[in-house]
Structure 1
């Protein structure tokens, strides 16, 4: 089967909506902060999906459907058997092309970064799935171009899956501890500059992991067109981090292992294949008093 690119255009997808080997997934989730203040909550995008989605697409809730139900932290990678079962029964598996999209918003602001979609794509690649693409611009661009929508739920016949887990795509807390002292590994914090510097109260403790550099995931797409920037601009953004060196390993992290997957996707697109996601990210690291954090004035 022909390999599809990491990103596909709205035009590319619309032309192939009737292909029998194509599966389309809406992975939308929303981050919301109460007007009265308080912690940010993660909400399902199912209602948005029901109001109108790309024809044929199915909805998957990353938190409820594809996270470890026994884990103490949200969005933790589940056991392989659990993930494979959930995907296969939805028709995602051998012989399929998968395109994933979402709303591309952070706290109600459209940023063009499909980081929920990239999280699902990363989980699939971790478990050995291939032929996965992200819809560039997501459903916001799709709607802006007046492409077809439906309220009829998509459905695919259950399939089998036989791939192998790619363990090198996931980094643990111990891996990160070692990376701090390894000049051959680049640590990238994908959060906002405010989070990186320790100016926010988002996590149990403020700051960033020692030696990590900041590359805010929301800066890789045009807020107007919703499309990611051309490779030349992306390359210029990442060159200062040293992460494009093919001889280096890269570990990306964020708050809960979501935004970090968008950063990893951009690096993959630029040719850096040796990228792992710290799945626990700051939710885990900041909760452990034995793990150092740095704040900047």
Structure 2
């Protein structure tokens, strides 16, 4: 089984005791001065309506609050405690969804993989597709029984700035910017510091990988064509980045769905763009 599951599949597994569903929605909006993003829990939206027996995951609550970057990866011990409290552990297959084009579900999926949970799945189309098909929803709080999670970091899921820098001049590595064409060009929409892109990177926005109506990922052949057109070939080492490692996680999930691994620059431009020693280029430079 690949990392994505259909609404039909999940509907048929709602009573499977090994399946535990999680709503990963987080809400973001620009700060009043446009210089940053403000993140808000999606808990209220979850309380108003969620998939049957779906608990809520707040990405901020499972991140490291002592780091200067949004959604920073926590220590293995901290993540083990958080995941276990959510009900994720041995013998459990988490199924993740959100309301934002898979962005937050994909980030949680990638984080679980980073800490050794290879069984996590993402609902293709998430909330939009499930509710668009008239499938059952519930309201109110719900939590899964706690479990025991023992984190074991798997290298290569997330990478740091030095790995990205090493990939700039490596012909075997393709750097993919998952932000919008405007942001890639350095013309605006910046909430993470200097405008521009990492030198040598290609652009394929994460939102271009999903259908407008259902928010489901495009068919595999179409995904392969889009990545190929952007400059990604089978066998390439792929590193995806964005503003904070969230949209990039959705791109990594799409690549995994077509059988190609990709690493995510965890801190992405919120780190790179604020370091004057790290190069950025803009159209016209």
Instruction: Report the CA distance between 1:241 and its aligned residue.
Output: 3.3
C-alpha contact (below 8 Å) 1:10/1:136 kept by paired residues:
yes
Deviations 1:202-225, CA, capped at 9 Å, x for gaps: 331110000110010000111123
Choose from 90, 96, 99 the match for 1:100.
96
By how many angstroms is 1:148 displaced?
Answer: 0.9
Counterpart selection for 1:290 from 252, 277, 282: 277
* Cα distance between partner residues in 1 of 2:198 and 2:73: 21
The 3-state SS of whatever aligns with 1:271 is coil
Cα distance in 2 between the residues matched to 1:38 and 1:173: 22
Aligned partner of 2:118 in structure 1 is 130
User: Are residues 1:220 and 2:217 paired?
Assistant: no
Gap change, CA 1:37 and 1:243, over 3 Å in 2: closer
Q: What number of residue pairs does the alignment pair up? A: 283
**CA displacement at 1:280 relative to structure 2:** 1.1
SS at match of 2:8: helix
Which of the numbers 64, 71, 76 marks the counterpart of 1:68? 64
Q: Distance in 1 between matches of 2:269 and 2:252?
A: 17
Please list every run of at least 4 consecutive aligned residues from structure 1 whose deviation after the TM superposition is greater than 6 angstroms: none
Tell me how far apart the structure 1 counterparts of residues 31 and 246 of structure 2 sit (CA, whole Å). Answer: 21
Aligned partners of 2:80 and 2:150 also within 8 Å: no
User: What secondary structure does 1:245 align onto?
Assistant: coil
1:158 aligns with 2:155: no
Correspondences of 1:1-297 after superposition (within 5 Å)? 4-33=1-30, 39-63=36-60, 65-104=61-100, 113-162=101-150, 164-200=152-188, 201-246=190-235, 248-273=236-261, 275-297=262-284
Deviates more, 1:211-220 or 1:152-161: 152-161
**Structure 1 residue 152: Cα displacement:** 3.5
SS at match of 1:222: coil
Q: Residues 51-110 of structure 1, C-alpha deviation per residue, up to 9 Å, x if partnerless?
A: 0111111001101x1111110111111111101110012210100111100002xxxxxx
RMSD: 1.6
TM-score (norm: length of structure 2): 0.95
Match of 1:109 in 2: none
Secondary structure (helix, strand or coil) at the match of 1:240 reads helix
Q: How far did residue 153 of structure 1 move? A: 2.3
- Is the alpha carbon distance of 1:36 and 1:123 closer, same or farther for their aligned partners in structure 2, counting shifts above 3 Å? closer
Cα pair 1:195 1:202 within 8 Å, conserved: no
**Structure 2 gap ranges (5+):** none
2:244 aligns to what SS in structure 1?
Answer: coil
Q: TM-score, normalised by structure 1?
A: 0.91
CA distance in 2: counterparts of 1:39 and 1:283, whole angstroms: 9
How much does 1:284 deviate? 0.2
